């Protein structure tokens, strides 16, 4: 691209500057691990006793002797209970953090002393420094200890590291040699893998990578490791990480013809021990650098079960089959969004709403069932007197043109047949109208049949619109 624009690039100068930046980054990371302390003490221990013998490839428990003891960065002869210190052993089964694999944890037990190992770092190449906390007794120089690694945690980390190799091989198969590893992190049950790529990363390709890795796990190929020269390993097709420094003798981890890399970490005996590899996230973390994260083994199974439970709950809420949950939830979301848009863009009607008087049920009688029902006072004494006479003799109904402020009750003889319901018998509004009351409408009669226990007081005026044109209508008048 630069040559097309008539420009030139100093590639040698670029590589030199990148190497300087890489060395500064490594020095900063090492200084953070040591707390920007002085490393001369560790170098003297390395010169006096030599490199620490690592037994973790084959053994998870071994006896060792304390050859160095430091407290607060200074040499110490004895460290008491409750204190934190750094211990250097002549041999150790604990893996020191390197190559993207985190350190082992465990315990150191001796005569009258017990120590918990929380971290292991290689502050000086070849020297394993154990960061410990004394939980019982006193720890001193030349103390014989039994070192025991947390076996379950180590195996979980080994599964993650082996899964990283398989994912690396699958990514290189999908994107070619340009997809080189740019970093990794292998922790218990979880792995993180960074790789370089010139273009974008498709989710469909990552799905194929996941399926390819899990298909290869079914072959249960044996994982082998051996030491050879660097040139011989490269001839065999082993992948070396760009920017890493290797000596003349290198360790090769071979997972059949599918994966072969230079690696000093711990791995499983057979790839079938991984069980399941589930990619859970992918993102771009920089220009041309992509990151994927995955769960391995039991942690991957727990993740799948959790997702299955969420899908089942969603299907139960939407009342659909689990296989239709995504489409049903999408349809529900689109419907809710459409309703929100309609409600936000709705316009007021062209005419103002008019108050509507809703019909109410007639007043229930409060008179005892055994006594004849008497009328209430009418608006005029003469009209009420005439109405009482007609009610006592059972004459015809009162004229509809008369009005009264209160409705009377109806009479019922004590010798009448028992009522089929618990509430008082309701009399038709037309037959029991007060001489001064208005003639009820058909809506009021229908409402009285529907609402036998409605309150006597009329409801407040409200507005109801016609379902067709939205024009306010008046009912109950």
Has residue 242 got a pLDDT over 70? Answer: no
Q: 455 falls in which pLDDT band (50, 70, 90)?
A: very low
Question: What mean pLDDT do residues 36-52 have?
Answer: 85
443 and 436 in contact (C-beta within 8 Å)? no
Cβ partners under 8 Å of residue 87, min gap 6: 66, 68, 69, 70, 108, 115, 129, 130, 132, 139
The string of pLDDT tens digits covering residues 187-237 is: 999 999 999 887 788 888 999 999 999 999 999 999 999 999 988 998 888
List beta partners, residue 310. none
Q: What is the mean pLDDT of residues 141-166?
A: 95
Answer positive or negative: Cα dihedral of 39, 42, 48, 54.
Answer: negative
Other CB atoms within a 10 A radius of the CB of residue 24 amount to: 10
Question: Quick one: pLDDT at residue 312?
Answer: 82
- Asked whether the CA dihedral 138, 140, 146, 148 is positive or negative, the reply is positive
Whether the pLDDT of residue 38 is over 60: the answer is yes
Q: What is the pLDDT of residue 448?
A: 52
Which CATH number does the domain 155-303 belong to among 3.40.50.620, 3.40.605.10, 3.30.980.10, 3.40.50.300?
3.30.980.10
Separation CA 360–CA 13 (nearest Å): 94
Mean pLDDT for 249-267 is: 93
Dihedral sign computed on CA atoms, order 434, 438, 440, 444: negative
**Confidence tier at 348 by pLDDT (50, 70, 90):** low
Which residues are bridge partners to 475 per DSSP?
none
364-398: per-residue pLDDT in tens?
A: 544 444 444 444 444 466 666 776 777 666 554 54
> Token digits for 415?
């010798």
- Whether the per-residue pLDDT at 108 is higher than 70: the answer is yes
Instruction: Quickly count: other Cβ atoms within 10 Å of residue 137's Cβ.
Output: 17
CA distance 285 to 289: 6
Domain 40-149 has CATH 1.20.1740.10: no
Nearest to 457 by CA among 384, 395, 407: 407
Average pLDDT over residues 125-130: 93
Question: Please, which pLDDT band fits residue 134 given cuts at 50, 70 and 90?
Answer: very high
Identify the pLDDT of residue 336: 74
Which tokens is 95 given? 């893996």
Residue 223's nearest CA partner among 189, 251, 185 is 251
The structure tokens listed for 171 are 């990514």
Q: At which residue do the structure tokens 């029902």 appear? A: 373
Instruction: Look at residues 296, 43, 94 and name the one whose alpha carbon lies nearest to residue 189.
Output: 296
The set of residues, in sequence order, having a beta carbon less than 8 Å from that of 239 and lying 6+ positions away, is: 168, 172, 181, 260, 261, 262
Cβ partners under 8 Å of residue 168, min gap 6: 181, 193, 195, 239, 259, 261
The pLDDT, as a whole number, for residue 433 is 45
The CA distance from 294 to 300, in Å, is: 8
| Band (430; pLDDT cuts 50, 70, 90) | very low
pTM metric for this prediction: 0.63
């Amino acid at each position: 691209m630069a040559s097309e624009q008539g420009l030139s690039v100093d590639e040698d100068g670029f590589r030199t500057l990148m190497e300087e930046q890489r060395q500064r980054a490594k020095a900063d990371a090492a200084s953070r691990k040591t707390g920007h302390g002085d490393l001369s003490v560790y170098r003297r221990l390395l010169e006096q006793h030599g490199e620490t013998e690592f037994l973790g490839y084959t053994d998870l428990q071994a006896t060792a002797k304390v050859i160095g003891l430091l407290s607060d960065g200074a040499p110490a002869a004895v460290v008491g209970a409750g204190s934190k210190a750094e211990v250097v052993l002549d041999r150790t089964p604990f893996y020191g953090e390197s190559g993207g694999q985190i350190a082992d944890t465990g315990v150191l037990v001796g005569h009258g002393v017990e120590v918990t190992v929380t971290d292991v770092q290689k502050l000086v190449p070849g020297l394993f420094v154990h960061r410990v906390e004394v939980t019982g007794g006193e720890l001193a120089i030349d103390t014989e200890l039994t070192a025991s690694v947390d076996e379950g945690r180590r195996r979980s980390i080994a599964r993650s590291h082996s899964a990283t190799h398989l994912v690396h091989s699958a990514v290189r198969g999908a994107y070619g040699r340009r997809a080189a590893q740019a970093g990794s992190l292998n922790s218990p049950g979880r792995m993180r893998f960074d790789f370089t790529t010139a273009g974008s990363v498709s989710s469909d390709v990552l799905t194929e990578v996941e399926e390819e890795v899990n298909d290869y796990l079914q072959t249960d190929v044996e994982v082998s490791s051996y030491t050879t020269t660097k040139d011989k390993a490269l001839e065999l097709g082993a992948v070396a990480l760009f920017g890493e420094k290797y000596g003349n003798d290198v360790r090769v981890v071979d997972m059949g013809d599918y994966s072969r890399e230079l690696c000093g970490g711990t791995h499983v005996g057979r790839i079938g021990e991984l069980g399941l590899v589930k990619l859970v996230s992918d993102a771009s973390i920089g220009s041309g650098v992509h990151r994927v994260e995955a769960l391995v083994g039991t942690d991957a199974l727990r993740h799948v079960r959790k997702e299955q439970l969420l899908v089942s709950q969603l299907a139960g809420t939407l009342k659909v089959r689990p296989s239709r949950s995504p489409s049903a939830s999408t349809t529900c979301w689109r419907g809710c969004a459409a309703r929100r848009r309609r409600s936000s863009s709705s316009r007021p009607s062209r005419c103002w709403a008019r108050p509507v008087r809703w019909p109410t049920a007639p007043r229930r009688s409060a008179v005892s069932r055994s006594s004849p029902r008497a009328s209430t006072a009418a608006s005029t004494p003469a009209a009420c007197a005439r109405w009482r006479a007609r009610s006592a003799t059972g004459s015809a109904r009162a004229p509809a043109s008369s009005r009264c402020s209160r409705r009377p009750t109806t009479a019922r003889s004590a010798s009448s047949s028992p009522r089929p319901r618990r509430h008082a018998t309701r009399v038709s509004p037309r037959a029991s109208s007060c001489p001064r009351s208005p003639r009820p409408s058909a809506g009021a009669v229908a409402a009285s049949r529907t609402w036998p226990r409605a309150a006597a007081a009329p409801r407040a005026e409200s507005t109801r619109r016609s379902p067709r044109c939205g024009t306010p209508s008046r009912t109950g008048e």
